[in-house]
Structure 1
């Protein structure tokens, strides 16, 4: 089931490939204003998979020159939220219910987040009036390792009628 956000993404993918990342990022930042301050970039967006990146630039660094813990958490939340938002009907609100982030080692360089939903998860979102689910996300750094583990629990509820 397509919603306004997924239709806008589909329209972007009809344009020349060189502008996809830029336009996807612009679209995202119109919806999630704070993410733009960290310069998160959308690389790939579909109903089943989203890939986002954040560069290790001064505005997101911690005191030891790595990506700050909160910037890494923002990346995970943004990846899962974008993916979840692609699948929630327009009649419902997506809400982050909880997040757990375990920092296993120092992050090296920029980060890439990949969030995925199965067909079964998407079917549940579109058939249940409300609910919640864990949206898997993998965060890798420039070394190819996974310095953090994230669990993002997203919920969907009907919008209140005016």
Structure 2
């Protein structure tokens, strides 16, 4: 018989889980996140779902994120991708580890003129050991009709925290 140890979850996922019991819990979580990482405030995000291997975030298409063509700005889309990918990574790795984005490739497929949703998803969750590893996180940013207009692949360096 084998026993498996459950890795301790990180603080962000623990806080997310607690706030889900409250009215407006995801709004409160998102506001606190934007206080910790103020740049994300520029897109006015709202986290809808967070668990190991998955994060879904939405943002309105408002004047502050539009380009000169009136469409959702490419860099605002990258900001959405980084937010979803980073939160998903943080919720996925054990609290004994840390992560940092070290690269991102982006494919701009279409224009978006609506509110947007970013989804970071891992089909399988790897085991994280003592050696640093690179985790490639795919993120799709979709318009209100569900069309993917930006695809990103964010490479995260995951390593054990020093004591």
TM-score of the pair, normalised by structure 1: 0.86
> CA–CA distance in 2 between the matches of 1:47 and 1:160?
23
Misfit runs of 4+, over 2 Å: 87-93, 117-121, 157-161
Change (3 A) 1:27 1:87: farther
d(CA) in 1 for partners of 2:29 and 2:91? Answer: 12
Q: Which residue of the other structure, out of 139, 142, 153, is the alignment partner of 2:141?
A: 139
Aligned mates of 1:91, 1:27 — CA distance in 2: 22
The Cα of 1:128 is off from its aligned counterpart by 4.4
**Which of 81, 92, 96 is the aligned partner of 2:97?**
92
- Structure 2 SS opposite 1:93: strand
Q: Which runs of 5+ in 1 are unaligned?
A: none
Taking the TM superposition and a 5 Å limit, the aligned residue runs for 1:10-159 are: 10-16=17-23, 19-121=24-126, 124-125=127-128, 127-159=129-161
* Whole-Å separation in 2 of the counterparts to 1:160 and 1:46: 25
Distance 1:128 1:54 in 2: 37
2:4 matched to which residue of 1? none
Count matched residues.
156
How far apart in 2 are the matches of 1:150 and 1:65?
A: 22
2:116–2:143 contact (8 Å) kept in structure 1: yes
Query: TM-score, length-normalised on structure 2?
Result: 0.86
Q: Residue 134 of structure 1 contacts residue 154 of structure 1 at CA under 8 Å; is this kept in 2?
A: yes
Structure 2, unpaired ranges of 5+? 1-6
1:108–1:143 CA contact under 8 A, matched in 2: no
